[in-house]
Structure 1
Amino acid sequence: MGTFKIEGGLQLHGEITPQGAKNEALQVLCAVLLTPEKVTITNIPDIIDVNKLIALLSNLGVKVEKLAHGSYTFQAKDVNIKHLESEAFKEEGKALRGSIMLVGPLLARFGKGYIPKPGGDKIGRRRLDTHFEGFINLGATFRYNKEDSFYGVEAERLKGTYMLLDEASVTGTANIVMAAVLAEGKTSIYNAACEPYLQQLCKMLNSMGAKITGIGSNLLHIEGVEKLGGCEHRILPDMIEIGSWIGLAAMTQSEITIKNVSWDNLGVIPNTFRKLGITLERRGDDIFIPKHPDGYEIQNYIDGSILTISDAPWPGFTPDLLSIILVIATQARGSVLIHQKMFESRLFFTDRLIDMGAKIILCDPHRATVIGHDFKSQLKGVKMSSPDIRAGVSLLIAALSAKGTSIIQNSEQIDRGYERIDERLKALGAKIERID
């Protein structure tokens, strides 16, 4: 088990460039299965979850060639469908949540798609109903082996239809879109997710020859085509990492510039941080966060009531940044209610912050009230464990702001979503050491 040792309480300084978006990478990598032609993808983050998916594609028979750091070509010309029913695939697939998005492309192109119940973060129930109901609507037959938690869908030819999704699931929408692009006829998907990364997937598929309209809205129309070709695609910067660096700058009262953030794809993220009193300056396509020597003050609503920050489907605030918002609030001036609607176990990491001296009232599994210290009382370093990717980096930010030494065990959870995070933090002046 990996461990980070952090000496906190230091101000940081410098520039940092966000990695490619993890959530987009998992989608577009699965899409390479839709064509036998070569697909080139750049700005792929070098992180555990993405590397697992690349290895899984390679084991399926996809020819993978690394061109440079973050740049690969993929050619799914000789896919070994029999590998889907092997014990090796069952082990590989269940180790990665994103593996579920292999099913749509496999079903569309080869008429069958199998997947073990995927793993990932332990943040609460993450059901797969939306994915499989979508495939069934397209004409697939569904089966589930309860004994070994193995899902399967099969169809001789998918047929387009109208469907209203029961939830605006990002991975569910991506999976159904990838299945529908090769279906016969027209598919309309209402209550579709419309995150920038889903938009990126649709644009990539269109460059491969798909016919998708309504991109960026919650109503997608897809005219099925006979086949797709190759393309070149560049992944957006990771908005979750951008939000993490904003939180780092605020908590350590540091001056940091975040480079090449793709401002136009950040939605409400900058203004949500501003509601906590954090100053963000747009400089071209960069974000500049100045030092906050006098701290930052949480805004109240216009009637004076306490601010609530909650997650919602895009263009609402992403749930992946709520843990960062919660940590920032521990040193703000004022109070805020954090409402995590989507996952019932995601706020349980707050007990570690309470151990560090934070004033947090966990109201229930979905809500926490944070009373800020206004930097009059520093958090203190403790020994703790990272429960999932986003909570892990939030605890890391707390440790970098804390007085004394912190130990964060299970650092592999952080490495699943953040590329070389210790090296990049050291470049800003952080004292962080990776130990086994």
Structure 2
Amino acid sequence: MSVFKIKGGKKLKGEIIPQGAKNEALQIVSAVLLSSEPITIHNIPDIVDVNKLIELIGDLGCKVEKLGTGSYRFAASNIDTNFLETEQYRKKAAALRGSVMLLGPILARFGKASLPKPGGDKIGRRRLDTHFLGFQKLGAKFNFDSSEHLFHIDASELKGCYMLLDEASVTGTANIVMAAVLAKGTTTIYNAACEPYLQQLCMMLNRMGAKISGVGSNLLTIEGVTKLGGTEHTMLPDMIEIGSFIGLAAMTQSEITIKNCRIDMLGVIPETFKRLGIKMEFRGDDIYIPSQERYEIETFIDGSILTIADAPWPGFTPDLVSIILVVATQAKGSVLIHQKMFESRLFFVDKLIDMGAQIILCDPHRANVIGLERKQQLKGIKMSSPDIRAGVSLLIAALSASGTSEISNIEQIDRGYQNIEGRLKALGAEIERV
């Protein structure tokens, strides 16, 4: 198991390019199974979760050809669905939560599939009901084998229908859309997620010959077609990385330019960081963050304490709540962080409290952060990364802290961030993987 050793307290400087979006990649790479024709995808991040998924579709018989850094050509003309019954598939799919995204395309094109219970972050309950209920409404029949912890699904007769999703799940919506594009008749999905990543998926499927309307709204209408063709697709930069780098710049008082951000697709993310007092400039499609000695959290108009809460898009993404919380520890003022969507995601604050942060964990969903206003620097400690986003939040805290920190279980960080220590070193960070 690897450990990051970080010597904190250094100001960083320079330019950094965000990787391709992890959450988009898991959907887009799965979607290549919907067609027998070649599909070329650019800006795929070189991270553990995505590489595991690419390996899995290769095991299924999809031809995978690497064209260059981040660019791949996929040809799913010879898929062997019998692989889904093997112990090898069971082990690989159970270790990767993103494997659930293979269900929609496989059911749509081949009419049957198997799925072990997926793994992933330990950030609280992450129900798969939305995926399964959507497939069932389209006509799929589920059978759970409790002895093998395996779902067997028969989808030989998928038919379009009206459905109201019980939650605006991004992966759930994406999976149902991928199943519905080849179903007979028209599918109407209400309370659909409308994240940029889902918009990207729908636009790619439409280029392949699908008929999806309402893209970008919470009401999607899908007219089923008999087959899909090939296409070429470029993924968005990762908005979570962009937010992480904004937070990093503020915490370390660094002057950083984040390149090629697709600012038009970032929604309320820049505005939310500005509410913490962080200055930034949009220079074309780049975000420039100047070195700031101090930043002050806004209050509401009536003077009451600011609350930052996550919400389905176009609200603030839950994946950046951990970053906002860390950045607030050195601000002037207080903020109530409300993590509504996952009940175990704030438990990493005990590590920040050990570093000297002033945080009151009210309950599993809410934390009150009292900013130190840089009067007291965080101090380096030994800690462990509980999940991808908390891991990077602790990394940002360590880079701003006095002394040396050690972060173990960094395999969690590797699941979502490509060569993070190499890119931080290029900015001047003192970080080593041991």
Q: Output the TM-score relative to the length of structure 2.
A: 1.00
CA distance in 2, matches of 1:239, 1:310: 17
Deviations 1:12-35 (A, max 9, x none): 000000000000000000000001
CA drift of 1:147 comes to 2.2
2:412 counterpart of 1:413: yes
Residue 220 (structure 1) aligned with residue 226 (structure 2): no
Query: Which residue type is aligned with residue 318 of structure 1?
Result: T
CA distance in 2: counterparts of 1:148 and 1:303, whole angstroms: 57
Structure-2 residue corresponding to 1:146: 146
The list of structure 1 runs, each at least 4 consecutive aligned residues, that deviate by more than 4 angstroms after superposition, is: none
The RMSD of aligned alpha carbons is 0.5
Structure 2 gap ranges (5+): none
1:86 partner letter: T
Secondary structure of the 2:113 match is strand
- 1:75 equivalent in structure 2: 75
1:315 and 2:314 equivalent? yes
User: Residues 170-185 of structure 1 correspond to what in structure 2 (within 5 A)?
Assistant: 170-185=170-185
1:7 is aligned to 2:15? no
Match of 1:271 in 2: 271
| Residue of structure 2 equivalent to 1:381 | 380
Write the letter of the residue equivalent to 2:26: L
Task: Encode CA deviations 1:278-310: one digit per residue, 9 max, x unaligned.
Answer: 0011100000000102x0000000001000000
> Per-residue deviation at 1:248?
0.3
Spell out the pairing of 1:206-285 with structure 2 (5 A cutoff).
206-285=206-285
Partner of 1:300: 299
Contact 1:102 1:113 in 2 (8 A): no
User: What's the CA shift for 1:87?
Assistant: 0.6
Aligned residue for 2:422, secondary structure, equals helix
Matches of 2:427 and 2:50, distance apart in 1 = 25
Alignment deviations for residues 45-79 of structure 1 (CA, whole Å, 9 cap, x no partner): 00000000000011111100000010000111111
Does the alignment pair 1:32 with 2:32?
A: yes
Residue by residue over 1:111-138, the C-alpha shift from the partner in whole angstroms, topping out at 9 and shown as x without a partner, is: 0122111100000000100001000100
Secondary structure at 1:31 match in 2? helix
Q: Which residue of 2 aligns with 1:403?
A: 402
1:145 deviation in Å?
Answer: 1.4
- 1:418 is paired with a residue whose SS is coil
Q: Give the conservation status (yes or no) of the 8 Å contact 1:14–1:257.
A: yes
Is the contact made by 1:296 and 1:332 (CA closer than 8 Å) also made in structure 2?
A: yes
Instruction: Specify the alignment match of 2:61 in structure 1.
Output: 61
The aligned counterpart of 2:98 is: 98
- Distance between the aligned counterparts of 2:336 and 2:151, measured in 1? 39
Partners of 2:157 and 2:73 lie apart in 1 by 28
Check whether the contact 1:309–1:338 (CA below 8 A) recurs between aligned residues: yes
**For each residue in 1:293-340, what CA deviation from the matched residue of structure 2 results, as whole angstroms up to 9, or x when unmatched?**
2x0000000001000000000000000000000000000000000000
Query: Aligned partners of 1:173 and 1:382: how far apart in 2?
Result: 41
Question: Does residue 424 of the first structure (1) align with residue 423 of the second (2)?
Answer: yes
Q: 2:58 & 2:9 partners in 1: Cα distance?
A: 44
Question: Residues 156-212 of structure 1: CA distance to partner in whole angstroms, max 9, x if unpaired?
Answer: 221000000000000000000000000001000000000000000000000100000
Gaps (5+ residues) in structure 1?
Answer: none
The separation in 1 between residues aligned to 2:127 and 2:160, in whole angstroms, is 24
Offset, 1:148: 2.4
